[in-house]
Amino acid sequence: MSERRALVVGATGLTGRNAAEHLARSGWEVTGVSRKQGMDADGVRSLSADITDPASIAEVAQEVRASHVFYCTWSRQETEAGNIEVNGAMLRNVLEATGATGTLEHVGLVTGLKHYLGPFEAYAQNPAEPPFHETQPRLEYDNFYYTQEDILWDAAERFGFGWTVHRPHTVIGYTLGNAMNMGVTLAVYGALARETGIPFVFPGSPEQYDGTTDITDARLLAEHLVWAATTPEAANEAYNVTNGDTFHWREMWEAVAAGLGVEPAPYPGHPTPLEDRMGDAAAIWRRIAAREGLVEPDIDRLVSWWHTDSDLGRTVETHAAMAKSRAAGFTRLQDSRASFLDLFDRLRAEKVVPEEVDQG
């Protein structure tokens, strides 16, 4: 039996799935926990638990007796006060349960760049100046990421485990049924554009179209989580986690379009939000899925129009410095163009989106 027993919380999500798969490939004993369905991944044991219920997660914690916890989930609420209450309670329940086993050595908490941009209620209104650095002070807004950090630090002191906080930008990678998955959303958008002839136009703001930005490949984030959990010099710190390159969407949009087999439309100079344009998409997708034999006919389990609009509609530049990770020894880089193209290839191979069809 492996000496390293990982409990991945949120294992069916984008970050959790990729972390669990990477841990399993690296020889760890891995248990993935989620509230609903289990995950289908080689080497990953799947358990169900409701982490809003202390007794439910305590039962799992005693069974697994994890040495390492990777916390990769959140629950969206209507207000930031609700986010703080619910997401704070979920993390607290996990840490109390796993800390009480006496086996816990390390917790990796995944948050994100809203640490620097602000919560949804005040998103990008008074953000930090990019590139974002981990030493920048917290913003003057309530933010459930800040609450989670405080809960983590308190539990680490009481139970004696090490910790790291990981702040990715928009995460690109493979999973289904995730509410924050721009890569899959864009792949579905491309398939709809091929099917219906709607223009495949960049839906976001001029600032995002022409400004500097970055993304985070879920595979790289998984490597970063494991690196931090197994590198003593990295312990008890917060880290930005991005691919290590930057780009402009005016160029990346052409690469994304080519990867999806669709012509990029001219940018109109203003946002054209997907959520406003996709009212008929569900019925069209059911038709495509039936004809092409796709695995998921319910478009709502694939796309996040609202979240992609939020990412691409920012009116500020958004990119993060990776110098702190580099100095601590994490030197992995990922080409962002390849992050999209690799994902599109896998989505076609898994029959999530249709193969490219020559429309000429």
Closest alpha carbon to 156 in 167, 164, 168, 166: 164
Q: Torsions phi, psi of 316, nearest 5?
A: -135, 155
pLDDT value at position 317?
93
pLDDT value at position 35?
86
Catalytic residues: 114, 145
Strands (E), the chain: 5-9, 29-34, 44-48, 68-71, 106-110, 162-168, 171-172, 216-217, 237-241
Distance in angstroms (rounded) separating the CA atoms of residues 271 and 262: 20
pLDDT value at position 186?
98
pLDDT value at position 38?
67
**What is the chain's percent helix, strand, coil content, to nearest 5?**
45, 15, 40
Q: What is the mean pLDDT of each run of 10 residues along the chain (360 residues)?
A: 85 95 97 82 93 98 98 96 98 98 98 95 91 97 98 98 98 84 96 97 97 98 98 98 98 98 98 96 98 96 93 94 98 98 97 72
pLDDT value at position 37?
62
pLDDT value at position 3?
85
pLDDT value at position 358?
42
226 half-sphere exposure, CB direction, 13 A CA radius: 23
pLDDT value at position 179?
64
pLDDT value at position 1?
37
pLDDT value at position 120?
87
